[in-house]
């Protein structure tokens, strides 16, 4: 009998957080960005906050929902141990702003929660860990799938939370909406 053995898999956990008041969180992020200097790490244009420390009441439900989702993800992966969010920051991208290819290598898990996503605001792209080899070896697939794709694109939709291994290279396409900003919260999770 012949079969395909899936020996290495890369999980990306997706859930939709219905309980978050995205309008209130969006308003908080925009007002925060007006009084706090930004950071330049993966963003090209736009605003990326420094690591949020201290209390941010408008984000408290979101933070507890992220922790809960990461715990669920860990349980499904059969990984034990407690988790802690060590880094969390805001991303605000206007017209043509984007986040370049990067990874969060030291984090066990990383993720993004989309707060405001107008039409044509760009997708999140994940590169296969062996991107250079896969894109050369599989340059003419009949149909792209999880075995032969060098890159996977997922929609940036308000309310969606994606959690993935910190080592996974990813980027976010430019926001091509001329009038409305794409707003998200990104984070790194570590196991205790």
pLDDT (tens digit, 9 = 90+) per residue, 21-32?
999 999 999 999
Q: What is the percent of the chain with per-residue pLDDT over 90, rounded to a whole number?
A: 71
CB neighbourhood size of 35 (10 A): 6
CB neighbourhood size of 162 (10 A): 22
Report pTM: 0.92
Give tens-digit pLDDT for 54-73: 889 999 999 999 999 999 99
Say if CB 111 and CB 62 are below 8 A apart: no
Give the separation between CA 105 and CA 174, rounded to whole angstroms: 23
Rounded to 5 degrees, what are φ and ψ at 20?
Answer: -85, 135
Q: Which CATH architecture has domain 13-188?
A: Sandwich (2.60)
Is pLDDT larger for residue 132 or for residue 68?
68
Helix (H, G, I), strand (E, B) or coil at 187: strand
Is pLDDT larger for residue 54 or for residue 113?
113
Domain ranges of the chain: 13-188
């Amino acid at each position: 009998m012949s079969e395909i053995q899936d020996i290495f898999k890369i999980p990306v956990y997706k859930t939709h957080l219905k309980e978050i008041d995205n309008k209130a969180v969006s308003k908080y992020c925009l007002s925060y960005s007006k009084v706090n200097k930004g950071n330049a790490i993966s963003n090209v244009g736009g605003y990326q906050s420094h690591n949020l420390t201290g209390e941010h009441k408008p984000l408290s439900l979101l933070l507890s929902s992220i922790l809960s989702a990461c715990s669920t993800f860990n349980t499904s992966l059969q990984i034990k141990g407690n988790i802690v969010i060590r880094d969390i920051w805001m991303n605000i991208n206007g017209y043509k702003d984007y986040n370049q290819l990067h990874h969060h290598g030291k984090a066990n898990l990383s993720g993004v929660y989309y707060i405001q996503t107008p039409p044509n605001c760009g997708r999140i792209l994940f590169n296969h860990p062996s991107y250079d080899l896969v894109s050369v070896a599989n340059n003419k697939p009949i149909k792209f799938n999880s075995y032969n794709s060098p890159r996977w694109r997922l929609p940036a939709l308000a309310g969606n939370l994606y959690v993935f291994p910190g080592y996974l290279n990813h980027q976010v396409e430019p926001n091509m909406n001329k009038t409305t900003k794409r707003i998200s919260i990104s984070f790194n999770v570590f196991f205790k």
